[in-house]
């Protein structure tokens, strides 16, 4: 059976490293970072989740999605 999760996680890896995506306003992309962190944790890739959280914190540490992502990593 084809593993759709792995393919989806690869999409996050590619999207979040794309310069055009990174050039977008954080307010428009924060939710994507948060969901990518959820996927990274599910894939047991905590190192990548922490890198994305760092990017979120640099962009806007007070944004609700950043706060939620930080809480997710604190639970693990």
The total domain count for the chain is 1
Range of the domain at 45: 4-75
Q: What's the average model confidence in pLDDT over 12-23?
A: 96
Q: How many CA atoms lie within 13 Å of 1's alpha carbon, on the beta-carbon side?
A: 3
Average pLDDT value over all residues in the chain: 92
Structure tokens at 7: 């393919």
Local confidence band at 1 (pLDDT 50, 70, 90 cut-offs): very low
């Amino acid at each position: 059976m084809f593993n759709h999760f792995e393919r989806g996680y690869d999409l996050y890896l590619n999207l979040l490293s794309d310069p055009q995506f990174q050039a977008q306003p954080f307010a428009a992309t924060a939710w994507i970072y948060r969901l990518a962190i959820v996927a990274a944790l599910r894939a047991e890739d905590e190192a990548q989740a922490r890198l994305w959280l760092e990017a979120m914190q640099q962009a806007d540490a007070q944004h609700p999605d950043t706060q939620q992502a930080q809480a997710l990593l604190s639970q693990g």
